[in-house]
Chain A
């Protein structure tokens, strides 16, 4: 080390032993799992967004993301004996609502809602989360269309609830005005209607989209026409 320090040889042997014993004791003590480490608890009730805003000290986006990490820690491997799919979903959605209100532009809560919390095997919990996504989509359709598109897919394929999926897809197509929203998302309702054996309805909707003149992209027009032709062919076969 520096010249200000004497050599290690001046340290008495008993002190070496004391330091080694204390360090070994600390490592052994901390290495053993304790009962208190297994939290085994459900989510506490969510605070109001105003309280969170106060606690954020002006750093709302940072706090919103930290709170999402906190929510994520509620699962089995995170030290909790409750898996997130066993959480109280009304509390979970309260937390997600509060986080969205804290940082409305953040995409994390809706992403987690669609990709994590909605993908549970329990239909009731899934519906709960899908309705949360839908409610938040209505506030900002152009910014939150992606979670709703995934929600529509989940409603169709996991829940098997085609009317619900159609409602989501219909509102997604109807309410989004941003040209950046991709074709497949806007046309989702068509595919869902096909699955509902509502081929005629799908043909009408596709035809309406084509005749409305709102679609100017050549590729999009070609794609929609192909879909319309396919639908007509399927309709004739019946």
Chain B
């Protein structure tokens, strides 16, 4: 019950704040850009619109939810609201999971809204799979942003850490491929660097394999790769939640 109450208030805050307007602005920008591209493209107009809009809306959804989670959590901490809640007879897990549920619901609504716009330029089946992936990705980013906000307790470090993890996760496969290149002289330092990169990759979600723009262009199917991508994000969200809960239990009043 307490969890649901927390979630409800988080959702209420998101609705009454600037988030809907920012999301609307991002959608309008994407639509205007698509209209402009349709005028200048010589061929593959729909594909061009879908790819640019998909990339822009994905980045917008992730960026907005990360900023919202970090700013909301830090504002609550700075206003001493968190201390007040911690003094109440409500289990800490209920408080944390309630906040997370609220942010996850906000992320899901934001991602689904962004995906809806793409129905104008891509097939519904492809958009639905892309949308589910974006919802999971946004929920994951919300969980990570909540963890960093609670742990670092400062706005800029929390946003920087979330953005850093997200960008690293999206580029890690490319980094691993470059590190494994045999063209450079084999050396102990090079081997150590390669192993270090592989070790870091183990601790990151594989975000380069999710919410892919080519799904919108060439269609997507619920195959093994798709299920693995979604399951991998769910698993990482669970890890971020466990780590956040762990830190939250140790927080002193």
Interfacial residues, chain A to chain B (CB-CB below 8 A): 1, 3-8, 10-12, 15-16, 18-19, 21-23, 25-27, 29-31, 34-37, 39, 69-70, 72-73, 75-80, 112, 116
Contacts and interface: CB of A to CB of B under 8 A. Distances in A.
Closest 5 CB pairs of A and B: A22-B239, A73-B177, A19-B242, A22-B242, A72-B181
- The secondary-structure label for the interface of chain B is helix
B230 to A, nearest CB: 12
B224 A30 contact: no
A27 B238 CA distance: 13
Interface string B217-253: 0000000110010011001101101110110011110
B89 interface: no
Interface in B138-193: 173-174, 176-178, 180-183
A79 B251 contact: no
Task: Classify chain B's interface size.
Answer: 20 to 34
A6 B232 contact: no
28 contacts: A3-B252, A5-B250, A5-B251, A6-B250, A6-B252, A7-B250, A10-B250, A11-B249, A15-B93, A16-B246, A22-B238, A22-B239, A22-B241, A25-B238, A25-B239, A26-B202, A27-B202, A27-B203, A30-B202, A34-B209, A73-B177, A73-B181, A76-B182, A77-B180, A77-B182, A78-B180, A79-B176, A112-B183
Contacts of A31: 202
A22 B228 contact: no
A19 B246 contact: yes
A129 to B, nearest CB: 15
Contacts of A34: 209, 225, 228
B94 interface: no
B117 interface: no
Contact of A77 (B181, B209, B238, B250): B181
Given A35-B225, A78-B177, A11 B235 contact: no
A75 B182 contact: yes
A10 B245 CA distance: 12
B82 interface: no
B245 A5 contact: no
Nearest to B203: A26
B245 A18 contact: yes
Nearest to B172: A30
B68 interface: no
A194 B32 CA distance: 69
Contact of A25 (B177, B181, B235, B245): B235
